[in-house]
Chain A
Amino acid sequence: MNSEVRSNLAHATAEEVARRSYGKLVAFLAARTRDVAGAEDALSEAFASALADWPKNGCPANPEAWLLTVARRKTIDALRGRQRHERAAEELRTMDEGLAAAQDSSKIPDQRLALMFACAHPAIDAGVRAPLILQTVLGLDAKVIGSAFLISPAAMGKRLVRAKEKIREAGIPFVVPEREELPARLDAVLDAIYAAFSEGWTDPAGTDAARRDLTEESLFLARLVIELLPDNAEALGLLALMLYAESRRLARRSKEGEYIPLAEQDTGLWDSRTIAEAENILKRGSQLRSPGRYQLEAALQSAHTHRCRTGHWNWPEILQIYDALFELTGSPVVAINRALAVAEIDGAAAGLNILKKLGNDARLGEYQPYWAARAELLVRTNAREEAHQEYEIAIGLERDDAVRRFLQKRQSKLNA
């Protein structure tokens, strides 16, 4: 093998391992020491060593175990550097207990769920829990996370560092909580998984591999939660919700990359197998008789899917679910969609009235779908001039190019 081929192979292997096992390795290294930042540093140095060593000496048979061994050595160096002998010895002993077992990569215990629960601990600021899981379990950097959460990369970086310090210094444990505490703690974990999925979802064309992986990783994480907590209805609801969205991936954009709204999608492009899986999982969840936000959102997706596929007019059913969801969450975003359902049943003017009342909520002033919904209903009530203005605001607020073009097209139709 010539050196170029070897080097390419080493890089490909390292990338593959990073994608497959990054979170697992961080969780393993950090679970005992609670030092997430230290684990991340040691692992990134181990990856750097791999890229120097593997092209020369060939890729190891078990790259995960190789990386763990090097990461452990880096941890020793770091601990020596900090002159913390007593604690260092203790941390290394606990790490070694697991390391021996980890020589076979299939035997590295999967502690990602425990890591997620540590990140979503009530002692951690609620706003940073989801970003923390994205970074520690999926290996995303502060720049990507910041942009997903509309926070500057520098500020996001600081918040992540602070949260990791708190996990270490305050002794937040890496454990799955007891049954009685589980539902509340799990909500934070599920929210973070959904946030990760949404981040991947903003690249519908799937051109950005990192983002596409994010939807796959989130589906993987949701399945992992269900595997470990099979009787949790909301975890099932979340997976069903994400699968409904995933089933429409190919239909969301035209070949030319134009945005296509749900009602105008070619249902033939929807993935029937994924929809069937979502239906099954949602049913499994509802049989547990423990309703919640994600199950309701999945039920909505189910009803919309049924409507678009069959043309069956089921708006009253949809409105009922929105009512329940709004009662549960009080979310202004739910209220917008509820108003659109009302417009289908009682007419555009009725929906518009609700939307105008919602306008008092300052959070909606910069929310694109609010203005697009108003414009849409104004068109239906023939208030063209007003509609034109509201489309203008919606266009100005949109970040996605394809959606912006879609809104512009709607707006220009008004002049025709």
Chain B
Amino acid sequence: MQYLLMLYADESGWTKMSKAEQEQGMAAYMAYTEALKQAGVWKGSNRLQPIATATTVRNGANGKAQVLDGPFADSKEQLGGYYLIEVPDMDAALSWASRCPAVGHGVVEVRPIWSR
């Protein structure tokens, strides 16, 4: 089954880090990605730009699509990236999620992909 691991964290944490800390953080994510690829479960992953760049499209009052500046939801933690993995079951997905560096400074939401 395929699962999407959605990485949520407080963005401002990143900017408060020293350069060395940022490098260390990046290295952790690269190692994690490499481990997923080695295990043959990696299907895709990406890091997202900060929510300052987010734009939302929704149904406006006149029935036309309305474009708004800003993210869909304002929350303490923001979606900052994702991994798409293919593993046998939820336990395997949770096991990989628990190794994700994001768990150290945020949360990882695990969602099965609709498969039919």
Contacts and interface: CB of A to CB of B under 8 A. Distances in A.
Interface of A: 84, 86-87, 121-123, 169-173, 175, 177
B89 A87 contact: no
21 contacts: A86-B116, A87-B116, A121-B90, A122-B94, A123-B90, A123-B94, A169-B112, A170-B90, A170-B112, A171-B1, A171-B88, A171-B89, A171-B90, A171-B112, A172-B89, A172-B90, A172-B91, A173-B88, A173-B91, A175-B91, A177-B91
B108 to A, nearest CB: 13
Contacts of A121: 90
A165 to B, nearest CB: 11
B102 interface: no
Interface of B: 1, 3, 88-91, 93-94, 112, 115-116
Nearest to B112: A170
A171 B93 contact: yes
B93 to A, nearest CB: 7
Nearest to A87: B116
A177 B1 CA distance: 19
Contacts of A86: 116
Contact of B89 (A84, A122, A173, A177): A173
Contacts of B112: 169-171
A170 B112 CA distance: 5
A122 B98 CA distance: 13
Interface SS of chain B: mixed
Contacts, number: 27
A171 B3 CA distance: 10
A86 B116 CA distance: 9
Contacts of A171: 1, 3, 88-90, 93, 112
B1 to A, nearest CB: 4
Q: Which of B3, B88, B90, B94 is most buried by chain A, counting CB atoms within 10 A of its CB?
A: B90
Nearest to B94: A123
A123 B109 CA distance: 11
A170 B115 CA distance: 11
A172 B112 CA distance: 10
Q: Which of B3, B91, B112 is most buried by chain A, counting CB atoms within 10 A of its CB?
A: B91
A167 B86 CA distance: 17
Contacts of B91: 172-173, 175, 177
A84 B90 contact: no
A84 B116 CA distance: 8
A169 B88 CA distance: 13
Nearest to B92: A173
A121 B92 CA distance: 13
A170 B1 CA distance: 9
A83 to B, nearest CB: 9
Contacts of B1: 171
Contacts of B94: 122-123
A217 B115 CA distance: 37
Please give me the 9 A-B residue pairs with the lowest Cβ-Cβ distance, nearest first: A173-B89, A171-B1, A171-B89, A172-B90, A171-B90, A170-B112, A170-B90, A173-B91, A171-B112
A177 B90 CA distance: 12
A86 B93 CA distance: 23
A106 B112 CA distance: 36
